[in-house]
Amino acid sequence: MAASKSSLTALTLGAIGVVYGDIGTSVLYAVKEVFGSGHVPFTPDNVYGILSIFFWTLTIIVSIKYVVLVLRADNNGEGGLVAMLALASQSVKDKPELRRVLLLVGIFGTCLFYGDGVITPAISVLSSVEGLEVISPAFKQYVIPLTLVILFGLFAVQKHGTSGIGKFFGPITLVWFACISMLGLAHIFTNPAILWAISPLYALGFIWRNPGITFIVLGAVVLCVTGAEALYADMGHFGKKPIRVAWFSVVMPALTLNYFGQGALLLKHPEAVKNPFFMMAPDWALVPLVALATLATVIASQALISGAFSVTKQVIQLGYLPRLQVLHTSVKDTGQVYLPFVNWGLFVAIVMAVVMFKSSSNLAAAYGIAVCTDMLITTILTFFVIRYSWNYPLALCIAATGFFFVVDFAFWASNLLKLVDGGWFPLMIGGAIFTLMMTWKDGRHLLNEKLRADAIDLTSFLEAVFVSPPVRVEGTAVFLTAEPGTVPNAMLHNLKHNKVLHANNLFVTVRNHEVPWIGMDKRLEIESLGHDCWQVVIHYGFKNDPDIPKALQHIKGRGCELDAMTTSYFLSRDTVVPTIGSGMSHWREKLFAQMHHNASGAAAFLKLPNNSVVELGSKIEI
């Protein structure tokens, strides 16, 4: 019992550091953007009204929607938009047209995650460094260069993994929440009546008096729920209970105290609106507070960067992106991966965002559309999960998700007003990645159709070969093939050029599925084709790590013995040639051919030993 309690404590501390770093640093800029926008007349009633809207936004969107409802929709313990998408698509697999639409919507939401992944580190780190301007206006010129240096340092250390520094994330973020709580309390004590803003009557009163202004400022209010999607995405790492305990015991109280403290400060000193968070602190505490805020925002950004690596790996497994180089940064935790291309691609986009927008206020104009669209998509997918997978009554499903849909839609519509001011930026990033993903998916479909059309039936081919068999040599040949039951090109080339056949021949097909994990007991299917030849199908979930040699160890004792020292792996490296005609538009075929050419080698991706791989090339026109 004591061990489970200490485990819960450790997981809760980890969740505070990784899951809630993003939402925890939104206190730096959320209130500033609402009152600094100039849309809200500065009166005590409006301060109370806005604080009440903040509190109930956190309560409805984070506490009720995500922590209570969405965390229940786990896919074998895994969360996040990709896991929810897999769950929703599986629940409507008997409705192919609806399933196709849901897959498109879910993949588009995943693409917007990258747009969010660019804006969030930029706005978080920039807003913390802007605290230097409160210390002295002379520091203003150093804000952008220092932000870029911090971001470069953050991305440069990614290749070393987070296991070494990860253990400090929880304690540092806990100190951050303690500090923002104390700052808030200090100002609440000067005006305890501010706590009345917890009443929803103040929020409803503000909305009733100012419907137009409310609609406009929702685009800034949404900043207080930045990172809400992260607590669902990280469920697989920490579990539901630690995430819930961390939210209700530490994060929600700390955020509420700080926002209400900022409100009390503004009532006393309206001029503090230019940066209410840092102006809460006494002069002697400013420098350490800027340092702590910078550390907290770096940790918040780290969680999002790690998330981008994990999501990319899952999307590759689902077949929406070409293979990329995936490096494992921890021998213990297989989930800790590093993708160099994604790392530096994100960094370049973040630098562009910082240099283009120049301040956290300008970046706030770009923030919101991507995250609100993702929130809407999560709500839509949740409906299909609880209706078709959990089989809840239709009226209950509409009531449960309909309420959140209306709330999410209001925030989303308000954020559309920011489209011209910067909202186009994350949408442009998401749209570009969506184009790449759909081009890859459609291109792979065309390629497989072409391979199927030209394919030779494996069983008939082997019968013909063994009428007058070629020379058999010792060892095992593993031929990788996209479709079971077809002759791999690599085998045809091997017979044509080397005129030999190995003593044992395995025809291996890798199948990726829309579930997070597939256990070793369901990993392999093996079928004897006679003449010491076997058809093998290896199954992986989108969170499994493909490892062909490791998987093939499990065929021992099933009629085929494998010796790693005498096994050779034969791969066909296809060169795609785009042609004008049917299929995709010519520019998409060219893009697919380029992506196919630049994809990392199958050998490395499937963990094949370098000294045992034979690659044989062929050209395929699409």
Q: What is the mean pLDDT of each run of 10 residues along the chain (622 residues)?
A: 64 85 90 83 90 96 90 77 85 88 90 87 89 85 92 87 71 95 95 94 94 90 85 78 92 96 93 90 91 91 82 86 80 68 92 90 84 90 89 90 93 90 89 93 86 84 88 90 86 84 90 84 87 90 87 80 85 79 82 86 84 78 72
Of the CA atoms within 13 Å of residue 385, those in its CB half-sphere come to: 23
pLDDT at 5: 61
Query: From residue 472, how far is each of 476, 556, 598 by CA, in Å?
Result: 10, 21, 36
pLDDT at residue number 333: 54
| Complete DSSP assignment for 258-290 | HHHHHHHHHHH-GGGGGSHHHHTS-GGGHHHHH
Report residue 27 as tokens.
């206190």
Structure tokens at 323: 């293979």
Round the average pLDDT of the chain to a whole number and report it: 87
What pLDDT score does 252 carry? Answer: 96
193, 267 contact by CB (below 8 A) = no
Question: What is the Cβ-side half-sphere exposure of residue 493, based on CA atoms within 13 angstroms?
Answer: 15
pLDDT at residue number 555? 84
Residue 410: its pLDDT value, please?
94
Q: What is the DSSP string of 494-552?
A: HHHHH-EEEEEEEEEEEEEESSS---GGGSEEEEEEETTEEEEEEEEETTSPP-HHHHH
pLDDT the model gives residue 133: 86
Q: Is 601 helix (H, G, I), strand (E, B) or coil?
A: coil
Interatomic CA distance for residues 559 and 528, integer angstroms: 8
- Copy the structure tokens of residue 408: 């999410």
DSSP 381: H
CA distance readout (Å), 311 to 233, 338, 463: 9, 11, 44
Q: Which pairing describes strands 500-513 and 533-541: parallel, antiparallel, or unpaired?
A: parallel
Q: Which of 438, 597, 353, 441 is nearest to 111 (CA)?
A: 438
Strand-pair partners of 479: 507, 570
Neighbours of 249 (CB within 10 A): 12
Q: How confident is the model at residue 60, as a pLDDT?
A: 94
Q: What is the pLDDT of residue 10?
A: 83
Q: State the pairing for strand pair 533-541/524-530.
A: antiparallel
* Domains of the chain by residue range: 2-442, 455-621
**Residue-level pLDDT at 166:** 67
> What is residue 38's predicted lDDT score, i.e. its pLDDT?
74
Which one of 1.20.1740.10, 1.10.287.110, 3.40.50.800, 3.40.50.360 gives the CATH number of domain 2-442?
1.20.1740.10
